[in-house]
Amino acid sequence: MAFEFTDANFKEEVMDTEGVAVIDFWAEWCGPCRVIAPVIEELSHEYDGKVKIGKLNVDFNPEVSFKFNIRSIPTILILKNGEVVDRHVGTTTKKVLADKIEAQL
């Protein structure tokens, strides 16, 4: 299951951790977010132990959303060692996201 990032755990789980993290910024009311949710879930299983993949609900976690200037959802950020290395706004395919993840490993 995809990890649940929050304002409370983001610094510890992403910013202070080495390695690659993929964060799906989403909201319950967002149709495109529901379309990409199964892709995020599949990737979280496939990269388990190699990449921390999870979701951050923008409605309940405004601090992190503001910090990364999230204006449209879904937005997917890929961070490596706490730095943003890639950003994708909108829906996409599993292959596109997997290729972006592989480029950081």
Please give the positions annotated as active site. Answer: 30, 33
In the three-class reduction of DSSP (H, G, I as helix; E, B as strand; rest coil), residue 75 is classed as: strand
DSSP 3-60: EE--TTTHIIIIITS-SEEEEEEE-TT-HHHHHHHHHHHHHHHHTTTTEEEEEEETTT
Cβ-count burial of 15 within 10 angstroms (0-12 exposed, 13-18 middle, 19+ buried)?
middle
In the three-class reduction of DSSP (H, G, I as helix; E, B as strand; rest coil), residue 95 is classed as: helix
